[in-house]
């Protein structure tokens, strides 16, 4: 008898969990980003968002994450009393691929959410504070080709479902030359999704242009209208087979490991 009760209890708990927590919960559950040590006795000159005295590197990681910093410097300096103390400098952006703003300085350590990466041909790299690092390719490819271009470089077509991302990225999209981003819908699933398998319905933000989405399915391009139109940037549905420039989002270290995990899971 108690056993039946226990099973019933577990069943109710599971049903309640599934009812409350659909797949969107996974997206809203943000684990701590991963910051790795990139260089010792060097400091990045990227703009500092905030700083704090911390007891150790773990505390600095928590602080940087709370500020949504993409990188940080950890300095070990002597205070007025002559005692060593650690100062955490949360940085707005990590070092660029060529690390030109990294300067040698004793007792500093530079940490980043991003591995050291190289720049693909015919592209530029931009940092959107708090959002990430993005590669803008001037080469035109169709959507599936653009997807594999990004994947080969440990990146994905850029997630744009937030104001920060859509507005931030649009500043680098040339006018009258829309770029593919990571948002599409096919016949099979029939839902708009980003490249992380997250449904559009899991987010509140929308940037559809007038009359958009114009088609039941397709791929989304980010449009930066010329100033004369005084319209904010918007999303537009285009056929997936056309060739356009595109924007990849570089995967932070934490995603590169989970992507590997996901790949392995699919294989088994
Ligand atoms: C490093 O990259 C920046 C931004 O892409 C570029 O402006 C600069 O010329 C590069 N510097 C070197 C030495 O390659
Ligand atoms: C880069 O651009 C140049 C000039 O447009 C072109 O000749 C070359 O094939 C491009 N490289 C790639 C990898 O697309
Ligand atoms: C992609 O990430 C993996 C795992 O971190 C790494 O081994 C590989 O070198 C990376 N590839 C590129 C092109 O950066
Ligand atoms: C993109 O082009 C490739 C090569 O031409 C083709 O195999 C693929 O089907 C195209 N993708 C779409 C979505 O049209």
Largest CA distance in the chain: 75
Q: Which residues contact 125 (CB under 8 A, 6 or more apart)?
A: 96, 97, 119, 133, 134, 135, 136, 250
Residue 231 lies in a domain: yes
The pLDDT score that the predictor gives to residue 105 is 96
Residue 249 lies in a domain: yes
Say if ligand 2 is within 6 A of residue 122 CB: yes
The Cα–Cα gap between 236 and 141 comes to: 17
Instruction: Among 91, 112, 133, identify where a domain stops.
Output: 112
Does residue 259 or residue 70 have the better pLDDT?
A: 70
Question: Do 226 and 250 fall within a single domain?
Answer: yes
104, 227: one domain: no
Domain boundary among 79, 112, 145: 112
Based on the domain organization, do 45 and 97 belong to the same domain?
yes
pLDDT at 29 over 70: no
Q: Is the CB of 149 under 6 A from ligand 4?
A: no
* CA 148 to centroid of ligand 4, rounded, Å: 11
* pLDDT grade for 3, boundaries at 50, 70 and 90: low
**Whether 94 and 135 share a structural domain:** no
The answer to whether 246 and 157 have CB atoms below 8 angstroms apart is yes
More confident residue, 119 or 1: 119
127 lies in the same domain as 249 = yes
Dist. CA 237–CA 225, nearest whole Å: 15
Q: Is residue 12 part of a domain?
A: no
Measured in Å, residue 98 CA sits from the centre of ligand 1 at 6
Q: Which ligand is nearest to the CA of 117?
A: 3
Q: Tell me, what's the pLDDT at 268?
A: 26
Q: Is residue 6 in some structural domain?
A: no
Tell me, using a 6 A CB cutoff, whether residue 214 lines ligand 2. no
Q: Supply the CATH number for residue 63's domain.
A: 3.50.4.10
Mark whether 59 and 153 lie in a shared domain: no
106-132 average pLDDT score: 92
Is residue 261 a part of any domain in this protein?
Answer: no
In tens, the pLDDT along 190-235 reads 999 999 989 999 999 999 999 999 888 999 999 999 888 888 999 9
Q: Is 132 in the same domain as 249?
A: yes
185 occurs within a structural domain: yes
For residue 120, the ligand 2 atom closest to its alpha carbon is: 13
Mention every residue, 6+ apart, whose C-beta is less than 8 A from residue 116: 38, 97, 99
Residue 220 pLDDT = 97
- Cα 89 to ligand 3 centroid, rounded to whole Å: 27
Is residue 131's pLDDT more than 70?
yes
pLDDT at 259 over 80: no
Same domain? For 76 and 144 the reply is: no
Please determine, for residue 20, whether its predicted confidence score (pLDDT) is greater than 60: no
The answer to whether the beta carbons of residues 134 and 222 sit under 8 Å apart is no
pLDDT confidence of residue 42: 97
Confidence check: pLDDT of 174 > 70: yes
Same structural domain for residues 223 and 159?
yes
**pLDDT tier at 260, thresholds 50, 70, 90:** very low
**Stretch 247-256: mean pLDDT, rounded?**
88
Domain count, the chain: 2
CATH number of the domain that 235 lies in? 3.10.100.10
Domain match, 80 and 127 both: no
What pTM value is reported for the model? Answer: 0.84
List the domain range (segments joined by +) for residue 241: 123-254
Among all bound ligands, the one having the nearest atom to the CA of 100 is 1
**How remote is the CA of residue 215 from the centroid of ligand 2, in Å?**
32
Q: What is the pLDDT of residues 52-107, one digit of tens each?
A: 999 999 999 999 999 999 999 999 988 888 888 999 999 999 998 788 899 999 99
* CA nearest neighbour of 126 among 118, 135, 117: 135
Report the pLDDT averaged over residues 109-116: 93
- Rounded Cα distance, 30 and 202, in Å: 14
The answer to whether residues 40 and 84 belong to one domain is yes
Identify whether 266 is part of a domain: no
Residues 164 and 246 in one domain: yes
* Ligand 1 center to 100 CA (angstroms): 7
What is the per-residue pLDDT for 21? 55
- Asked, for residue 89, whether it belongs to a domain, the answer is yes
Segment 120-140 mean pLDDT: 93
Task: Among the bound ligands, name the one nearest to the CA of residue 119.
Answer: 1
């Amino acid at each position: 008898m108690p056993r039946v009760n226990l099973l019933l209890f577990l069943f109710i708990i599971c049903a309640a969990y599934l009812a409350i927590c659909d797949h969107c919960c996974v997206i809203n559950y943000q684990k701590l980003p991963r910051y790795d040590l990139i260089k010792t006795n060097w400091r990045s000159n990227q703009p500092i968002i905030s700083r704090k005295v911390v007891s150790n590197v773990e505390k600095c990681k928590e602080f940087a994450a709370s500020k949504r910093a993409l990188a940080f410097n950890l300095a070990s300096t002597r205070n007025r009393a002559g005692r060593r103390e650690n100062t955490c400098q949360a940085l707005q952006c990590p070092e660029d691929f060529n690390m030109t703003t990294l300067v040698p300085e004793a007792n500093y350590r530079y940490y980043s959410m991003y591995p050291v990466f190289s720049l693909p041909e015919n592209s530029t790299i931009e940092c959107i504070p708090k959002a990430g690092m993005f590669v803008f390719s001037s080469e035109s490819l169709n959507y599936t080709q653009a997807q594999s271009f990004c994947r080969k470089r440990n990146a994905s077509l850029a997630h744009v479902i937030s104001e920060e991302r859509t507005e931030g990225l649009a500043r680098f999209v040339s006018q009258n030359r829309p770029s593919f981003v990571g948002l599409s819908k096919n016949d099979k699933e029939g839902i708009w999704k980003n490249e992380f398998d997250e449904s559009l319905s899991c987010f509140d933000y929308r940037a559809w242009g007038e009359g958009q989405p114009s088609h039941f399915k397709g791929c989304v391009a980010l449009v930066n209208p010329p100033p004369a139109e005084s319209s904010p940037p918007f999303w537009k549905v285009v056929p997936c087979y056309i060739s356009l420039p595109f924007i990849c989002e570089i995967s932070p270290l934490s995603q590169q490991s989970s992507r590997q995990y996901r790949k392995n899971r699919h294989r088994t």
